[in-house]
A and B are shown apart, each in its own frame.
Chain A
């Protein structure tokens, strides 16, 4: 049974009153614990695909099933809970909140859950150790380097023990050495936590760690 399954998924936007089809008839099956890379040029619909899998966009054609849950059947509150418990997001620009320190950024998902303080403390310590930033727990994001910010963002994405990490150009803002460290971290996370990665990118280096690579070509997903 695949962890993620997309069946004939399509998405269009209204731009200046004209309906523009972004993706069409997308079928995808992803097994638990795998790393899948989706490549394609800018504007090809890679991020749209991530938003659909992550429950951020529920107005699409076709069917999206994650962990046996049909996303289109969920209400806004159920979708929010789904994102909170099952999905971790990693963004190109990190999206950390600058007025919160690193620890507060990492525990943000717990604000929307019922985790007890003891469990929160345990997870924080584990994750900061995992991303090797325990010494910077009380620092604020603007004082960190790009690589450190992305490691904090990864810790935040992992905080609720998600099944899936959705990564949108996770190394796009990083230099080669730092990007390589982040990719090593991904492999380590997959090994320790059996997390499934869906990474959209246009960088070739990411494809090297991927188990499967797909490309969006003329609105359709093609395995390469």
Chain B
């Protein structure tokens, strides 16, 4: 077998020109496979690692079915709510440890303050949330509890800071900020007035001092989130309503992760929606990666026809040589093995060249992105995350399709009648 292997390598070297030309498709297919799958991996990593930080597995986010209308969800205009009675029902489900509520502040508000020597007044959206659910996100030394006196504690979304750093700071020529640098920042909150809805009753306008105490994924994306008790207080001050009975969202804490599917099923049967953002986004990226990966494999598969034609031609040209090998003692199996080995080695070489080419595309794309695409939220250092598994799969595909291409020619080669071949 060692001798036949050496012979197969010599044959490949002799036929390198013809084989390289027929391998171009396989090389590009493998390169695009490495490129697209690495891209899918990279995007997933950014989305899940930075944008959708993992929630603990025992927390279920529950919203009303189709409760929000597209982009207005950020502004707090809701189509439906979760009623207080529904919250009670959820609380009574076996295995539910606690239910934390989130409510939209549906009173006009504005923020006013000085930010790097600029006076800023802006309309704002706000939600109120049970302090317990964001306890871990509050900066040490600060509190996120309702208090009669003192500034109102405020948390904002981590994504908002990222949005500021990548767009607003650049556009307004303001410095980029870190979480630590901005914690403790104070501003005024004017309740009962906004540019959008104006002033209904100027006697009811109130002004409070607010202080930023933390960043949280559970905070509203474009606005502020405050302890839920303040929402009740504002509604009482402005509308004379002393209690909250309808909620935008509730966070259900399960006693353990094993019971989550059962609770989820019960909540779904109540006509409520379980937050599927992660699952949906993950699914979309996976499907896109799968489609692009499959397209690459299709290119490789179609290229196998080229390989097949080339090997068929080479076998035809080498009939006499195969006849000689048979006369010298080569069995049909030896001839098949030799052609298969040639195809396998060609597959490995094509795979390696394809991987190198894919890697080159990755580096060029990253270089282009670094220098030509403006900053945007969560813009990563690299869009790609290639790994050893992708390389192994790429090589496997290359070898598989090269040997598949050589299958028929190798069978034909082994069936060559040596007596006739030697008279050609």
Contact = CB atoms under 8 A, between A and B. Distances in A.
Interface string B319-335: 01100111111111110
Interface stretch (A1-9, A105-113, A192-200): A105-113
A49 to B, nearest CB: 11
Interface stretch (B7-15, B61-69, B72-80, B377-385): B7-15
Interface stretch (A91-99, A121-129, A144-152, A214-222): A91-99
Given A104-B10, A112-B334, A97 B324 contact: yes
Interface in B1-29: 3-4, 6-7, 10-11, 13-14
B298 interface: no
Given A97-B321, A100-B10, A85 B329 contact: yes
Given A56-B419, A112-B330, A95 B320 contact: yes
In this complex, the member of B3, B7, B332 whose beta carbon has the largest number of chain A beta carbons within 10 angstroms is B3
Interface in A45-73: 47-48, 51, 54, 56-57
Contact of B328 (A76, A77, A104, A108): A108
B372 interface: no
A103 interface: no
Contact of B11 (A48, A54, A99, A108): A99
Nearest to B15: A99
Contacts of B85: none
Contacts of A109: 328-329
A112 B10 contact: no
B333 A77 contact: yes
The bracket for how many chain A residues form the interface is 20 to 34
B182 interface: no
A111 B327 CA distance: 13
A48 B419 CA distance: 8
B329 A113 contact: yes
Interface string B332-350: 1110000000000000000
B63 to A, nearest CB: 71
A83 B327 contact: yes
Interface in A202-218: none
Contact of A99 (B4, B10, B325, B332): B10
Interface in A140-158: 156
Contacts of A111: 3-4, 6-7, 328, 330, 334
A95 B327 CA distance: 11
Point out which of B326, B331, B333, B334 has the most chain A C-beta atoms below 10 A from its C-beta: B331
Contact of B418 (A48, A56, A104): A56
A51 B421 CA distance: 12
B318 to A, nearest CB: 9
Contacts of A83: 326-329
Given A51-B419, A99-B14, A112 B321 contact: no
Contact of B329 (A48, A51, A57, A84): A84
B423 interface: yes
A108 B325 contact: yes
Given A76-B332, A81-B329, A57 B419 contact: yes
B168 interface: no
A80 B326 contact: yes
Nearest to B5: A111
Contacts of A77: 331, 333
Nearest to A50: B419
B259 to A, nearest CB: 64
B186 to A, nearest CB: 83
B392 interface: no
B284 interface: no
Output the residue of B10, B321, B334, B418 with the most chain A CB within 10 A: B418
Interface string B111-149: 000000000000000000000000000000000000000
A174 to B, nearest CB: 19
A51 B420 CA distance: 10
Nearest to B418: A56
B327 A56 contact: yes
B13 A80 contact: no
A110 B334 CA distance: 13
A89 B419 CA distance: 12
Contacts of B334: 80, 111-112
Contacts of B418: 56
Contacts of A160: 329
Give 7 nearest A-B pairs by CB, closest first: A84-B329, A111-B3, A112-B329, A99-B14, A80-B331, A51-B419, A56-B419
Interface of B: 3-4, 6-7, 10-11, 13-14, 320-321, 324-334, 418-419, 422-423
